């Protein structure tokens, strides 16, 4: 029985890992193609492009990981059914081995997705912010061409008049339209990029800061010196969420230190944990539709992989729009799959034969 469990678990895991590897490579290539033009304009090389694309991978992996687990399991079960091995497993009462193999694969997949959601994704977000700030600082200090408008990130446009000895920038201009409620424009006679050891700082001297609200109201502030973080100009949004760059352990440690956990922190922890429910739900659904041999032919032949894909996206759609939270779809899928599994595995009485 142990050999059967190991054999089935290896089949499930192998198909899922192969599919996940292909998806990872394709997603990385797509990220590289999306960022190629922007990074090349900023004067960065392929190494920066590859690393930047790598840091944006974890959120995409979380979106496709449970789908890959489900499709990998359904492909393995489909192969067992076509080779009649699945029939032999049921006929020889080896169903317990199938359950144990599924539990092993589900447990391993849950551990991986928890590591991705609670640790890897926040660290990747943090590294991406640091890399974006470094690229933006290099762009402003040395790469930016005088007299040419350059987009640092969508919504932020920079323009300089020239450079002097020592790296000082003359006639600095920056337009920030990322916030739909207000538009900021920075104008300074001179500017310089410096570092405090942890962050890059843009020092603006003798200039103005202009605000334009969405209702048309205008205000202007004059300054002799104004320091702005380069990271704040390199982010896609004007005000980034610092919680997205904190691992769950850091969030819990902060809550234990202060004695209070914010609503945003609690919601983020629950959302990250909900990824495990997706893996459990899709794996149970896969067992429910492909774990039992059937001689019936479907009227409309539809690949089981397509069914798993459609159910996975339906589950995410329900969780996204449900007022009860992102785990709603997963809980419904677990309940439905559990009912189907219980119904199919319930022992049935043999039908009595009526003599002619």
Closest-CA residue to 281 (of 316, 240, 256, 231)? 316
pLDDT, averaged per 10 consecutive residues of the chain (356 residues), comes to 83 90 89 67 65 85 90 89 81 81 92 93 87 70 72 80 80 86 88 76 89 85 87 62 83 87 86 91 91 65 85 88 84 91 75 56
Q: Which two tokens stand for residue 322?
A: 């449900």
pLDDT at 119: 93
In total, the chain counts a number of residues equal to 356
Q: How far apart are CA 282 and CA 297, in angstroms?
A: 23
pLDDT at 107: 93
User: Between vectors from CA 302 to CA 296 and to CA 303, what angle results, nearest 5°?
Assistant: 100
pTM, full prediction? 0.74
Identify whether the C-beta of residue 150 lies closer than 8 Å to the C-beta of residue 174.
no
Domain extent listing, the chain: 2-133+245-345, 155-235
pLDDT at 140: 65
pLDDT at 238: 44
List CB contacts of 129: < 8 A, sequence separation 6 or more: 231, 234, 235, 240, 245
How far is CA 163 from each of CA 142, 170, 189, 192, rounded to the nearest angstrom?
9, 6, 11, 10
For 49, phi and psi rounded to 5 degrees? -60, -45
DSSP 243: G
Give the count of beta carbons closer than 10 Å to the beta carbon of residue 15.
Answer: 21
Q: What is the pLDDT of residues 57-91, one digit of tens each?
A: 888 888 889 999 999 999 988 888 888 888 788 77
Largest interatomic CA distance in the chain:
107
Q: How far apart are CA 133 and CA 128, in angstroms?
A: 8
For 207, the 3-state DSSP assignment is: strand
């Amino acid at each position: 029985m142990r050999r059967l469990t190991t054999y089935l678990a290896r089949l499930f895991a192998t198909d899922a890992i192969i599919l996940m590897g292909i998806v990872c490579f394709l997603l990385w290539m797509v990220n590289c193609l999306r960022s190629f033009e922007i990074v090349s304009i900023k004067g960065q090389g392929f190494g920066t492009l590859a690393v930047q694309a790598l840091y944006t991978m974890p959120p995409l992996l979380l979106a496709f990981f449970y789908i890959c687990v489900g499709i990998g399991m359904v492909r393995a079960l489909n192969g067992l059914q076509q080779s009649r091995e699945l029939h032999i497993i049921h006929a020889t009462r080896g169903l317990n081995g199938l359950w144990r193999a599924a539990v092993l694969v589900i447990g391993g997949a849950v551990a991986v997705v928890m590591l991705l959601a609670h640790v890897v994704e926040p660290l990747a977000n943090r590294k991406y912010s640091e890399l974006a700030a470094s690229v933006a600082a290099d762009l402003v200090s040395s790469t930016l061409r005088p007299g040419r408008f350059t987009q640092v990130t969508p919504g932020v446009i920079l323009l300089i008049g020239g450079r002097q000895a020592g790296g000082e920038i003359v006639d600095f201009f920056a337009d920030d339209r990322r916030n739909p409620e207000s538009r900021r424009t920075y104008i300074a006679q001179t500017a310089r990029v410096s570092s405090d050891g942890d962050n890059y700082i843009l020092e603006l001297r003798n200039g103005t800061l202009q605000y334009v609200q969405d209702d048309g109201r205008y205000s202007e502030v004059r300054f002799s010196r104004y320091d702005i973080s380069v990271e704040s100009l390199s982010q896609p949004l004007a005000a980034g969420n610092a919680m997205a760059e904190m691992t769950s352990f850091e969030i819990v440690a902060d809550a234990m230190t202060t004695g209070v956990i914010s609503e945003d922190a609690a919601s983020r922890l629950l959302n990250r944990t909900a990824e495990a429910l997706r893996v459990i739900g899709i794996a149970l659904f896969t067992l429910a539709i492909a774990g039992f041999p059937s001689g019936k032919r479907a009227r409309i032949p539809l690949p089981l992989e397509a069914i798993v894909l459609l159910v996975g996206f339906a589950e995410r759609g329900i969780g996204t729009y449900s007022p009860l939270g992102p785990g709603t779809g997963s809980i419904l899928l677990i309940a439905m799959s559990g009912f189907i599994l219980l119904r199919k595995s319930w022992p049935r009485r043999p039908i009595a034969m009526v003599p002619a």
